Amino acid sequence: MKATFFAATALALTLAAPAFAQTRGPGGEAPTPTTDLKLDADEIAKLKGEHATAALLWHTSSDFVNAVTAGATDTFATLGMKVVAETDAGFDPAKQQSDIATVLAKKPNAILALPLDPVTSAAAFRPAVAAGVKIVLLSNVPAGFTYGKDYVAIVTDDLFAMGSHAADAMATAIGGKGHIGYIFHDAAYYVTNQRDQSFKKTIETKYPDIKIVESQGITAPDQGEKVAQAMLLKHPDLDGIYVTWAEPAEGVLSALRQAGNRHVKIVTLDLSEPLALDMVKGGNVAAIVADQAYALGAGMATAAGYGVLGKAAPPFLVAPVLTVTKANVEQGYQQSLHRAAPDSVVKALKGG
């Protein structure tokens, strides 16, 4: 969760998205799906002739980053571009600055990066802009950077779609009507706020027969269990619980198990092994909505190809969203994280 969290978090500071209908870019740009990016055979041939190189400047190391890296590296390979350096700033903007300086010694044509912090990364990324490197940004924009001049494109999770997919999954799980609990992240945090609000809005506008009977915020993942216990106490007739992300959802699941409650359906976001296992075993978890990190990386690499060719990419790209249920859990892991589902999950699927 943390990684995905962070992937789009800094948007909070720059992309103060006012609109609700969809995820919006820093200048209010409408989103373009990463799948819309296309390079034709001539363009790819031209790109291959350039023998271009790219560097990946990540904020941390995680499952999410690995999948983005895999997507980017595979796509670069098809474009004849070589990844010459990869860095992990460990969430430290000063380390990221020195990473950039280091990487520039290799004179890459393109950089894919998640700038850690809009304020402090502006100075850090300026030398790369000055060196003429084509920059594709993940989720976050350094302060004062302009599209087309300083960077090629921003690629991010489609947060709005994640929330609305979760609402649709909840509706499916409880048969389109009933009482649900809503556990949201009670903090000024762009990623979770966008997803939570989108879930709530979609339920309220699209599903009149579903009532949110209890809303409860959490500030830390370990509060999930206690909040769920209180909800069950107040509303024994609850049909479903939405949880803001996987970690607290594990606590909610534990509360339901302790109460011997097999009825309440859980819908949450971001893949987690214990939740996926419960889901395939026919437990409380009905669906997990996930972003497609691999596609995110692939989109970033293609956008970098646009940059190297001097072709304008759409300014604001969003990666597709995926609803994972028991039916598609194996493909879900592949599509989202570009790896096989955990052994326990696969075993449970086969076992029944």
Partner 1 sequence: MLRAPASLRGVDPARYVVYLGFLLVLGGFAVALRNDGFLSAANLLNIVQGATPVTVMSVGTVFVLTAGEIDLSIGSVVAVAALVGAIVLRGAPWWAAAAAALLAGGGIGLVNGALVAYLRLPSFLVTLATMGLLAGVARWLTDLRSVPITDDIFNGLFGSGALFGVPSLVLWTIATVVAGHFALRETKFGAHVLALGDSAAAARAAGIRVRRLRMQVLALSGATAALAGVLYAGRLNGARYSLGETDLLTVIAAVIVGGTRLSGGTGSVPGALVGALLMEMLNNGLILMGLAVSEQMMVRGVIILVAVALTLRERRV
Provide the binding-site residues for partner 1, judged by CB under 8 A.
Answer: 58, 61, 83-88, 90-95, 97-99, 101-107, 117-120, 122-124, 143
Of 331, 302, 225, 347, the closest CA to residue 33 belongs to 302
User: Considering beta carbons, is residue 41 or 105 the nearer one to partner 1?
Assistant: 105
To the nearest whole angstrom, how small is the minimum distance from the Cβ of residue 104 to partner 1? 8
To the nearest whole angstrom, how small is the minimum distance from the Cβ of residue 123 to partner 1? 4
Whether 238 contacts 258, CB under 8 Å? no
User: Considering beta carbons, is residue 95 or 179 the nearer one to partner 1?
Assistant: 95
To the nearest whole angstrom, how small is the minimum distance from the Cβ of residue 138 to partner 1? 16
User: Considering beta carbons, is residue 90 or 148 the nearer one to partner 1?
Assistant: 90
To the nearest whole angstrom, how small is the minimum distance from the Cβ of residue 66 to partner 1? 9
User: Considering beta carbons, is residue 75 or 87 the nearer one to partner 1?
Assistant: 87
User: Considering beta carbons, is residue 87 or 216 the nearer one to partner 1?
Assistant: 87
To the nearest whole angstrom, how small is the minimum distance from the Cβ of residue 106 to partner 1? 6
To the nearest whole angstrom, how small is the minimum distance from the Cβ of residue 321 to partner 1? 27
User: Considering beta carbons, is residue 97 or 284 the nearer one to partner 1?
Assistant: 97
Tokens representing 225 are 């269990």
User: Considering beta carbons, is residue 86 or 225 the nearer one to partner 1?
Assistant: 86
Whether 246 contacts 272, CB under 8 Å? yes
User: Considering beta carbons, is residue 103 or 290 the nearer one to partner 1?
Assistant: 103
To the nearest whole angstrom, how small is the minimum distance from the Cβ of residue 95 to partner 1? 7
HEC states along the chain?
Answer: CHHHHHHHHCHHHHCCCCCCCCCCCCCCCCCEEHHHCCCCHHHHHHHHHHCCEEEEEECCCCHHHHHHHHHHHHHHHHCCCEEEEEEECCCCHHHHHHHHHHHHCCCCCEEEECCCCHHHHHHHHHHHHHCCCEEEEECCCCCCCCECCCECEEEEECHHHHHHHHHHHHHHHCCCCEEEEEEEECCCCHHHHHHHHHHHHHHHHHCCCEEEEEEEEECCHHHHHHHHHHHHHHCCCCCEEEECCHHHHHHHHHHHHHCCCCCCEEEEECCCHHHHHHHHCCCCEEEEEEECHHHHHHHHHHHHHHHHHCCCCCCEEEECEEEECHHHHHHHHHHHHCCCCCHHHHHHHHHC
To the nearest whole angstrom, how small is the minimum distance from the Cβ of residue 82 to partner 1? 9
